[in-house]
Each structure stands twice: as structure tokens, then as C-alpha cells.
Amino acid sequence: MKMVRAIVRPEKENDVVLALEAKGFPAMTKVNVFGRGKQKGIQAGPIRYDELPKVMLMIVVEDGEVPVIVDVVRQAAYVGYEGDGKVFVSPVTESYTIRTGEKTVSPV
């Protein structure tokens, strides 16, 4: 299993969510976050914004589904400018369902 974390522009959040649902991935966690990339924010006249609002979507999927998720997110979140976002993929070794206590172990 892998966790895909996609950090996208707030105005693209709905597009990404709808695109993921259309491809069969309705389960996700959304978190409003603030941050900046390597460009260290943006400059608008004399004002510097060094932390910008973003939305982080977290999705846990089987290893083979990662390329589909990444492709869907990239297409739906794309604007064409710096700050479009970033996608991170990390391993998930195990998970637990709170209600039932069921444990899921990812094959290594």
C-alpha cells in the first residue's frame, strides 16, 4: 500500500476530487494547509506572501494504483504556473480500522 499526498491550489480542489471520484477513488482525507515551495512564496508589488494556502489530499491505495492517482491529480490540478502543487508517495506498512480493530498489513 502507498499513501499519496497531493498538495494543490485551493481553487483546484473540487476539480481534483471530482476527477478522483470519476476514476473510482472516492475515499480521501482533505486538510487545509499553508506553505511554500522552492520559490519561497510570491511577490505582489511591495508585498511578499511567503506562505500560501493550499489543500492537501491524502489517499491510501494499492501500489499498482499509484500511477493512475498521480496522473489524475496532475491533470486535474494543472494550471501551468509555479505553485500548481506537488505529489508525494510513501509506503504504508499497516493500517487499523478504529471501529473494528481490523489490522491491514501491506506486503513488503
DSSP 3-state percent helix, strand, coil across the chain (nearest 5): 25, 40, 35
Q: What is the CATH number of the domain that holds 73?
A: 3.30.70.120
Cβ–Cβ < 8 Å for 3, 59: yes
Q: What are the pLDDT digits (tens) for 2-49?
A: 999 999 999 999 999 999 999 999 999 999 999 887 777 777 788 877
Report in angstroms the alpha-carbon separations of 31 from 91, 103, 107. 20, 25, 28
Pairwise CA distance, residues 6 & 21, whole Å: 15
For the whole model, what pTM was predicted?
A: 0.88
The domain containing residue 99 runs over which residues? 2-39+48-105
Number of domains in the chain: 1
